[in-house]
Homo-oligomer: A and B are copies of this chain.
Amino acid sequence: MWQLLQFPLCPFSRKVRLLMGEKGIAYSLVRENPWEYRDEFLHMNPAARTPVLVDSARNLTLSDSVAITEFIEETSDTAPMISGSATYRAEIRRLVAWFDQQFYGDVTAPLLHERMKKRLVHRQPPDSSVLREAMRLANGHLDYIDYLIDHRSWMAGSTMSMADLAAAAQLSVADYLGGIDWSGHEQTKAWYSMFKSRPSFRPLLSERMEAITPPSYYEQVDF
């Protein structure tokens, strides 16, 4: 069986877990704190990032969340999440990169640094100006998601895709860390509320990161 090395607030691990959940692929979780740079972990992934997906029986060690999700797409024939025409697939992948890189860089990464790493690793208080800027940028991102959802049924078009999973992964971590102000973003809120009720998402939402408490509405479908 697959083992997924991750920590509860890793958005890239969440993206892979949502995909495996949607496809009904079984896996067990192994806790990894990439910021500890454990030798064995660096040997598995020199980039020192989670997720890493391992199947010891088959001697397989996969890393990089895009490489992993493409691998899962190619080796599973249920619930394809990068499907349709080549143009539609390019739009799905463009949006995955948008959430993995732009949303992560603007919002999730600074929130994780200020509210998780500073608390667990550096024992420092968060920098409120960095938090304010991340929340300001989050608001701009929600405007863009509102626009997408207004013009399409799902993030990339008429079907649920990897783009929705990548978006939900980043948004859920940012929401856990109190970085999302949902007011005025009814389209994104409705999409996220629907997403929260999916069986692939429930187990992620019930997990907690030690010493960090999410807002009271974090797990609720109506929020």
Q: Which residues of B contact A93 (CB under 8 A)?
A: 64, 66-67, 70-71
Shortest Cβ gap from A55 to chain B (Å): 10
Asked if A62 is an interface residue, CB under 8 A from chain B, the answer is: yes
A47 engages B90 (CB within 8 Å): no
A87 engages B60 (CB within 8 Å): yes
**Given A74-B89, A75-B86, A90-B62; A67-B144 close (CB under 8 Å):** no
Shortest Cβ gap from A60 to chain B (Å): 6
Number of chain A interface residues as a range: 20 to 34
Shortest Cβ gap from A117 to chain B (Å): 17
A 72-118 contacts with B by CB, 8 A: 74-75, 86-87, 89-91, 93-94, 97-98, 101-102
A47 engages B102 (CB within 8 Å): yes
A68 engages B90 (CB within 8 Å): yes
- In the complex, given contacts A62-B90, A62-B94, A67-B90, what are 8 additional A-B residue pairs having Cβ atoms less than 8 angstroms apart? A64-B97, A67-B94, A67-B97, A70-B89, A70-B93, A71-B86, A74-B86, A75-B86
Q: Which residues of A contact B (CB under 8 A)?
A: 46-47, 60, 62-64, 66-68, 70-71, 74-75, 86-87, 89-91, 93-94, 97-98, 101-102, 144
Q: Which residues of B contact A67 (CB under 8 A)?
A: 90-91, 93-94, 97
Q: Which residues of B contact A97 (CB under 8 A)?
A: 47, 64, 66-67
**Given A66-B97, A97-B64, A98-B64; A71-B90 close (CB under 8 Å):** yes
A75 CA to B85 CA, complexed, in Å: 10
B47 engages A98 (CB within 8 Å): yes
